[in-house]
Amino acid sequence: MKVALVSEYYYPLLGGITEHVHNLAGALSKRGHDVTVITHNLKPRKHHHYPHGPAAFSVVRFGKGIPIYSNGSIARITVGKRLGSDLGSFFEQEQFDVIHAHSPLTPILPVVALRKSNAPVTVGTFHTYFDRSRGYSWLQKKAARHMEMMDAKIVVSQACVEALSRYFNTDYNIIPNGVDPDYFSPDARGIPAFDDGKLNILFVGRFDPRNGLRTMIEAFKIVKSSFDNCRLIVVGDGPLRPYYRSLVSKKLAEDIHFAGLVNGGRPHYYSSADIFCSPCTKASFGVVLLEAMSSAKPIVASDINGYRMVMEDGKQGLLAGENEPAAFAEALLRLLKDPDLRLRMGSAGRDTVLAKYSWELVAAQVEALYLKLQNRGAECETAAAAGEMACALQ
């Protein structure tokens, strides 16, 4: 099949949706499909590289990506005077079998792709959990029409279903995020600078309020007051960097390492970690949890819906109260003081990934849905040609 994956989020932007789109494109390509990622142009271009080496698929860029603040995060939208006509012309030229939009109701590129789609099969994947949406409340009828443009709606977790069901009465296919267990591996080489006898706590995430870096820093302060032999490694960046750095006292500065943006080197940071910690307050799933689990690292994470669907409290790690630094500190101290528990939880996480979340397994589910919709479409055309009532792709 010839497949287009449309997303506002792609390299050089880092994040869960970027990882999902890139890895799904690669996995579908390995399964013999002709895949194109469609996204926007975003500076700096020097960061337009991929963590696994050259991509086995095409990347085509339209318009210009600009930042906006939304849902506790810095989001991106694509603008361009000829965006619609250029995208429509590209679709006519390429004649895709499947157009698959990610975050399909998010302005602007995925919405335009839905409107311009000429493919026999159009699919959307929803990645985000939210409590309430003013946009869906105000534009519910228009959004519902865009929902009807999709032959199938994929969600990465039940948490997404809960959020969307407040506004739309439709069917959803739950297909989770995935991870590459060969790339995020316990055998990845660690970083020598962090191999000095101190226990390492790792945080990975954009510097968005919802990712909980403030809670992470406050929890680490508490941990250090009773367990000195540890450090915090922070992987990520964003406009709020000066604010988060201002939370770190001179006394703690030598044990909090800000690594900045890390793309292809993340497995080395996971390998250097003894514990992975994610105090995120809003997540539909948690790609970083999969990366940590695949790397066989125990986890301390927020007790939120999206995370409870990936890990079990007491099995792959420990869940702590949302926005509660003291609860995070207590969980971190429990793991810091118990190496056997860290080993058991890390091993359980790796087993979970291999059983459920490898990209090979996830891509097979997506491919099966494409084929089901493609076959159903052929059946409908046959029925219509025979003068029977046409069926709908639902």
pLDDT at residue 361, rounded to an integer = 97
Kindly report, residue by residue over 354-381, the tens digit of the pLDDT. 999 999 999 999 999 999 999 987 777 7
Domains 2-178+359-385 and 192-357 share a fold: yes
For residue 288, pLDDT beyond 70: yes
- The overall average pLDDT reported for the chain is 91
Please report which confidence band the pLDDT of residue 237 belongs to, taking 50, 70 and 90 as the band edges: very high
Sketch the domain layout of the chain as residue ranges: 2-178+359-385, 192-357
Half-sphere exposure of 271 (CA within 13 A, CB side): 18
Q: Which range (4-18, 55-69, 80-94, 164-178) has the least confidence?
A: 55-69
pLDDT at residue 129, rounded to an integer = 80
Q: pTM for this structure? A: 0.86
Angle at the Cα of 391 from the Cα atoms of 120 and 373, rounded to 5 degrees: 40
Over residues 210-239, mean pLDDT: 97
> Looking at domain 2-178+359-385, does it have CATH number 3.40.50.2000?
yes
What kind of fold does domain 192-357 have according to CATH?
A: Rossmann fold (3.40.50)
pLDDT at residue 296, rounded to an integer = 98
- φ/ψ (deg, to 5) at 85: -65, -40
- Residue 64 and residue 244: Cα distance in Å, rounded? 29
DSSP result, 159-220: HHHHHHTTT-----EE----B-TTTS-TTS---GGG-SS-EEEEEES-S-GGG-HHHHHHHH
pLDDT at residue 363, rounded to an integer = 98
